[in-house]
């Protein structure tokens, strides 16, 4: 029988200075959560959203609306305050097979705990969870420090794909203005779509950070505010990068369409010249091809060579005139 995937995976670590952090099972984590002492980090990977929802609502007593938003991929990220718990979401980005893959992470922040919830594995969560269990005083002394650490790591993950998309935009721009025929409109629209998707994920996080900085949040101590301001500045840079490159690609698309239109005009101009030359030759052939009995030169032996010579001369003269006018 195939191995059954658990409804959710829960990892928890509890730190009560001066002792070292200890890893806890689910029941012990719930007890540590209720104690209100020390610092508890619980990370939940929800494979079954219904089971994870019951855990968050019944065991941790989080607000149902916050639990629903944490497990729903269709909700727009927002900042919510429910009693003494602060809830927010952010989208982590990973590059897989040359594309950006986004995973929503929900954060439940309390005075003595941080609970992170996501439906897919997130490498940066795994990395910082291991770091915190070994060096808690350097990684996160409070739940607000942990929140800043993870938000900073999430935002920093946007820079490599942002740089990649910027390089692709520059390459498309250079190729278009170099007259390359390898660029297709689909290539431009694909990069533009990826930039738009990145902006749609980073903009809500920017608004959340702005709200954290502007509101009076007792869960966010004053010493953490400058660090959150730095993360906010990074989100502005990413959003501006996405907007700038989208504008560049809009210009590239206009240039591409202009190049295609110019190529079509060149083709039509050449075809028009060829058609004009052939029409002149057809006119001569039509005149000498009329089968009237009393037609002059009908039985003239030099008629055929003369007609052919006239066609060639007229064609050469027209081609010379078009060449001088710059039409070909």
Predicted local distance difference test score (pLDDT) of residue 145 = 92
Task: Look up the pTM and report it.
Answer: 0.80
Predicted local distance difference test score (pLDDT) of residue 1 = 41
126, two tokens:
């795994």
Predicted local distance difference test score (pLDDT) of residue 4 = 58
Predicted local distance difference test score (pLDDT) of residue 2 = 46
Predicted local distance difference test score (pLDDT) of residue 183 = 76
- For 1-140, the fitting CATH number among 1.10.1040.10, 3.60.20.30, 3.30.460.20, 3.40.190.10 is 3.30.460.20
Predicted local distance difference test score (pLDDT) of residue 138 = 84
Predicted local distance difference test score (pLDDT) of residue 131 = 92
What CATH code would you report for 266-324? 1.20.58.340
Predicted local distance difference test score (pLDDT) of residue 3 = 52
166, exposed or middle or buried, with CB in 10 Å at 0-12, 13-18, 19+? middle
How does strand 39-46 pair with strand 113-118?
Answer: parallel
Predicted local distance difference test score (pLDDT) of residue 293 = 67
E-strand stretches of 55-156: 80-82, 85-96, 99-109, 113-118
Domain map (residue ranges) of the chain: 1-140, 266-324
Low-confidence ranges of the chain (pLDDT < 70): 1-5, 292-294, 298
């Amino acid at each position: 029988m195939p191995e059954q995937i658990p409804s959710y995976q829960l990892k928890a670590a509890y730190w009560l200075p001066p002792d070292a952090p200890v890893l806890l099972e689910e029941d012990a984590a719930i007890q540590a959560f209720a104690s209100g002492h020390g610092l508890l980090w619980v990370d939940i990977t929800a494979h079954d959203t219904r089971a994870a929802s019951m855990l968050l609502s019944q065991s941790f007593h989080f607000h149902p609306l916050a639990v629903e938003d944490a497990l729903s991929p269709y909700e727009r990220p927002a900042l919510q305050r429910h009693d003494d718990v602060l809830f927010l979401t952010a989208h982590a980005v990973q590059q897989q097979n040359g594309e950006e893959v986004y995973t929503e992470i929900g954060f439940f922040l309390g005075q003595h705990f941080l609970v992170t919830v996501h439906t897919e594995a997130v490498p940066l969560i795994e990395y910082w969870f291991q770091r915190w269990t070994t060096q808690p005083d350097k990684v996160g002394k409070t739940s607000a420090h942990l929140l800043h650490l993870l938000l900073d790591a999430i935002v920093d993950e946007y820079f490599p794909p942002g740089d990649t998309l910027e390089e692709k935009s520059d390459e498309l721009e250079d190729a278009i203005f170099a007259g390359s025929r390898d660029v297709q409109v689909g290539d431009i629209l694909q990069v533009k779509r990826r930039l738009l998707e990145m902006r749609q994920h980073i903009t809500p996080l920017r608004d959340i950070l702005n709200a954290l900085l502007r509101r009076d949040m007792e869960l966010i101590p004053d010493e953490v505010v400058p660090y959150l301001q730095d993360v906010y500045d990074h989100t502005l840079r990413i959003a501006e990068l996405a907007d700038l490159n989208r504008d560049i690609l809009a210009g590239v698309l206009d240039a591409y369409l202009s190049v295609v239109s110019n190529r079509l005009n060149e083709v039509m101009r050449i075809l028009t010249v060829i058609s004009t030359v052939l029409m002149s030759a057809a006119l001569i052939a039509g005149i000498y091809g009329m089968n009237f009995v009393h037609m002059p030169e009908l039985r003239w032996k030099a008629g055929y060579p003369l007609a052919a010579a006239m066609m060639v001369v007229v064609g050469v003269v027209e081609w010379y005139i078009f060449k001088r006018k710059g039409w070909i």
